[in-house]
Amino acid sequence: MPLVDTKKMFEMAYKNGYAIGAFNVNNMEITQGIVAAIVEEKAPLILQVSRGARSYASMNYLKAIIDCAVAENPDIPICMHLDHGDTFESCKQCVDDGFTSVMIDASHSSFEDNIALTKQVVDYAHAHGVVVEAELGKLGGIEEDVVGVSAEDVMNHLTDPDQVVEFVEKTGCDSLAIAIGTSHGAYKFKTAPKLAIDVVEKVEVKLPGFPLVMHGSSSVLKEFKDLINKYGGDMPDAMGVPEDAISEAAKKAVCKVNIDTDLRMALTAKIRQVFCETPAEFDPRKYLGPGRQAIKDMVKHKLHVLGCAGKADECL
Ligand code: G3H
Ligand code: 13P
Ligand code: ZN
């Protein structure tokens, strides 16, 4: 089957209390690691491409890699999604490039400007059969080149449940990224965090059946942070989103969970390990291969955290 949009995935995820993993891809090894995991676990998949990924790898290469994954796995629903589109033009370009889902992130603008830009993207995307994710509320950390609110300040910029109905009605967006206390990147929390699950619950009451998205959902796995630091890295102590909080959100209205940092850390940890243990190594396959394997193992585990393992068939 060709690339799919997220409609059926989100319908089933909402109904059956799980979430779809949305994993960021920047090259072949990352994509192959993710896809190998979802094939073994028979899970639906969202592969997401940031503007940074587009400029790093070039869209033609990334699209060809993703097309390969789709062609090799006709029984797995795979969506190609733009992560954090910032302008109408960047979203339009992705619609024109064959993406099946785009995100317009105007969360840093005023409520009115966010509505206006999101609606403009929705009108174009829907006319071309593409679904749209929007964002309301502010996350912490750095997303693309935009510095979000500080990790200490995220709880003051949560999504306001009183705004969601007007926002969704006026924009026509298909899913909504909400701010519930998470940040992008590896330095999310200094102490064990408590996410604002009550915001999910309040939005769920106001918008029954409407799919929500959780960004900044990496757990900053200790296993990889320790390996990175053991082999010459210097990552300060920090905590990510606890996996039990992700499972809890996935059972509620959160239907899409964005993960990038955990992929980066898995790949980096293994490359560092090979370089340190075998300093004479210069064959990229000998360090990218273990990195790809670590991504696969980590993603397999995440699919169980999200509850979407074994759900590919029902999302077709
Ligand atoms: O939200 C940010 C994602 O982790 C993508 O990051 O823009 O560096 O590719 P990137
Ligand atoms: P992490 O940095 O927590 O992996 O979040 C990724 C993300 O939200 C991409 O949009
Ligand atoms: Zn994000």
Q: What is the pLDDT of residues 61-93, one digit of tens each?
A: 999 999 999 999 999 999 999 999 999 999 999
Tens of pLDDT, residue by residue over 228-248, are: 999 999 998 889 999 999 999
List beta partners, residue 49: 82
Ligand 2 centre to CA of 303 (Å) is: 16
Tokens matching residue 209: 């059946």
Kindly indicate the confidence band of residue 139, based on its pLDDT and cuts at 50, 70 and 90: confident
Atom of ligand 2 nearest to the CA of 263: 4
**From the CB of 26, is ligand 2 less than 6 Å away?**
no
Q: Is 83 a catalytic residue?
A: yes
Chain centroid to Cα 173, Å, comes to 17
48 pocket-lining for ligand 1 (C-beta < 6 Å): no
Indicate the top mutation candidate among 26, 217, 235 to test ligand 2's pocket, ranked by most ligand atoms within 8 A of CB. Answer: 217
Residue 143 has pLDDT above 70, yes or no: no
What is the spatial distance between Cα 199 and Cα 159, in angstroms, rounded to a whole number? 7
Residue with the smallest CA separation from ligand 2 atom 1 is 216
**pLDDT of 136 over the 60 cut:** yes
Count of CB atoms situated within 10 Å of the CB of 21: 29
Q: Summarize pLDDT for 158-181 with one digit per residue, the tens.
A: 999 999 999 999 999 999 999 999
What integer pLDDT is reported at residue 140 of this predicted model?
74
Determine contact, residues 240/261, Cβ cutoff 8 Å: yes
**What is the four-CA torsion angle of 164, 20, 215, 131, rounded to 10 degrees?**
-50
The three-class DSSP label of residue 172 is coil
Q: Tokens for 281, please give them.
A: 């190594």
Architecture per CATH, domain 7-183+193-212+242-256+308-315, reads as: Alpha-Beta Barrel (3.20)
Whole-number Å distance, alpha carbon 42 to ligand 1 midpoint, is 26
**Residue 135 and residue 105 in contact, taking contact as beta carbons nearer than 8 Å:** yes
Find out whether the beta carbon of 148 lies less than 6 Å from any atom of ligand 2.
Answer: no
Task: Please give the share of the chain, as a percent, with pLDDT higher than 70.
Answer: 97
Distance CA 141, CA 183 (A): 5
Quick one: average pLDDT of 185-209? 93
Measure 271 CA to ligand 1 centroid, in angstroms. Answer: 20
Domain boundaries, the chain: 7-183+193-212+242-256+308-315
Mean pLDDT of the chain: 95
In this predicted structure, what is the pLDDT of residue 146?
58
* Active-site option among 83, 86, 105, 262: 83
Q: Is 146 in the pocket of ligand 1 (CB under 6 A)?
A: no
> pLDDT exceeding 90 applies to what percent of the chain?
90
Q: Where are the beta strands (DSSP E) in 54-210?
A: 78-85, 101-104, 131-136, 142-143, 146-147, 175-178
CA distance 266 to 273: 11
Ligand 1 proximity of 262 Cβ (cutoff 6 Å)? no
